């Protein structure tokens, strides 16, 4: 099955909700007065966006919990779902049950990873699952409940979700799961969630990045070995690199510009 992620719904007015949440903290006005000023256009949409933009650069994260997104996610594997449900805060899950759903004729949908296909082992995988499917069906016909027949099913078996997640939690999930260290399937789901959010609130969606992104932490905190192997490592720094530069700076060791650097700066012809 193909992975599908659909945004079903979201906070009715995410920008207004966020603005109200931040503004309540920093204003002498009551939230009712702030709302009235939004309603009669004394506070414009542009002003709200501008204000939020500045707040998003800070670590004041709790207002972000007041905006939510609701997704339908289908065609993902149980290998993915084990990881997904490890997120405990700010996200509510409903997942297709293998107790209440019995696969008709034992035919369970499943995912074949690209690496298995490339290794030419997908036919063998299909043969094995055909056997699993047959035995599942035999068990169900013999009166074994679905909740026990499912003990046969592989991690590749597909499952579906309906989730509601607040923006702060979605940022955290993307921090971890858009990172190239995350599993490919989770990266795909997180990227699809991001593109759904981009369609309705691009000003918030662009903050959904791996943690090293310029709108997030800005640096990599994985091992230096992983950072060196990461394609994004070429454009985002590792935290040890930042500390080393800071240390050099404190010791006065940061290299001053050299004669040849100035030549490169001043020699317009050579740099064009
Ligand atoms: C690349 C990668 C590899 C992984 N490998 C493994 C593995 O080998 N084995 C394994 O078991 N898991 C593994 N995980 C899962 C990981 O350990 C977390 O369970 C998962 O990423 C959820 O992250 P979280 O706890 O930060 O998120 P959430 O549960 O969504 O938490 C959000 C934030 O709240 C904080 N928080 C939540 N609950 C509490 C609490 N009770 N007390 C204090 N703070 C809390 C979290 O620290 C986090 O900052 C891996 C994850 C990644 C991204």
In whole angstroms, how far apart are CA 158 and each of 4, 81, 248?
12, 9, 52
What number of other Cβ atoms are within 10 A of residue 58's Cβ?
8
Q: Determine contact, residues 211/217, Cβ cutoff 8 Å.
A: yes
Told to judge if 88 belongs to the known catalytic residues of this protein, a careful annotator would answer no
Band (204; pLDDT cuts 50, 70, 90): very high
Q: State yes or no: pLDDT of 122 exceeds 70.
A: yes
- Catalytic residue, from 55, 177, 194, 216: name it: 177
For the segment 24-33, the average pLDDT, to the nearest whole number, is 95
Task: Name the average pLDDT for the chain.
Answer: 95
Q: List, edge to edge, every strand of the sheet that includes 91-95.
A: 4-10, 68-77, 158-166, 91-95
Q: CB of 178 closer than 6 A to ligand 1? A: no
Q: How far is CA 117 from the centre of its chain?
A: 26
pTM of the model as a whole = 0.92
Collect contacts of 204-210 with beta carbons under 8 A, ≥24 apart: 204/14, 204/18, 204/67, 204/167, 207/56, 207/171, 208/170, 208/171, 208/174, 208/178, 209/174, 209/175, 209/178, 210/174, 210/175, 210/178, 210/179, 210/180
For the segment 189-214, the average pLDDT, to the nearest whole number, is 97
Q: CB of 87 closer than 6 A to ligand 1? A: yes
Q: Determine contact, residues 222/241, Cβ cutoff 8 Å.
A: no
For the segment 177-203, the average pLDDT, to the nearest whole number, is 97
What per-residue confidence (pLDDT) applies to 53?
A: 94
Band (234; pLDDT cuts 50, 70, 90): confident
The percentage of residues in the chain with a pLDDT greater than 70, rounded to a whole number, is 98
Q: State yes or no: pLDDT of 268 exceeds 90.
A: no
């Amino acid at each position: 099955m193909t992975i599908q992620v659909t945004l079903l719904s979201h906070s009715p007015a995410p920008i207004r909700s966020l603005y109200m949440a931040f503004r309540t903290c920093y204003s002498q006005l009551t939230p009712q007065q702030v709302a009235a000023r939004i309603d009669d256009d004394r506070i414009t949409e542009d002003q709200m966006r501008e204000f939020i933009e500045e707040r998003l650069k800070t670590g004041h994260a709790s207002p972000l919990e007041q905006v939510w997104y609701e997704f339908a996610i289908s065609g993902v594997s149980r290998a993915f779902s084990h990881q997904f449900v490890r997120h405990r805060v700010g996200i509510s899950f409903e997942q297709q049950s293998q107790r209440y759903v019995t696969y008709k004729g034992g035919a369970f949908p499943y995912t074949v990873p690209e690496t298995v296909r490339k290794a030419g082992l997908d036919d063998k995988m299909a043969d094995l699952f055909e056997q699993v499917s047959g035995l599942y069906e035999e068990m169900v016909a013999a009166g074994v409940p679905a909740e026990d027949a499912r003990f046969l099913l592989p991690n590749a078996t597909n499952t579906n979700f309906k989730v509601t997640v607040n923006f702060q939690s979605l940022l955290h999930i993307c921090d971890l799961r858009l990172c190239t260290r995350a599993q490919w399937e989770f990266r795909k789901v997180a990227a699809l969630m991001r593109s759904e959010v981009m369609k309705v609130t691009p000003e918030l969606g662009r903050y959904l990045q791996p943690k090293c992104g310029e709108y997030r932490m800005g640096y990599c905190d994985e091992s230096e070995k992983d950072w060196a192997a990461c394609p994004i490592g070429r454009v985002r720094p590792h935290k040890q690199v930042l500390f080393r530069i800071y240390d050099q700076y404190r010791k006065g060791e940061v290299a001053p510009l050299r004669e040849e650097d100035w030549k490169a700066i001043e020699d317009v012809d050579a740099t064009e």
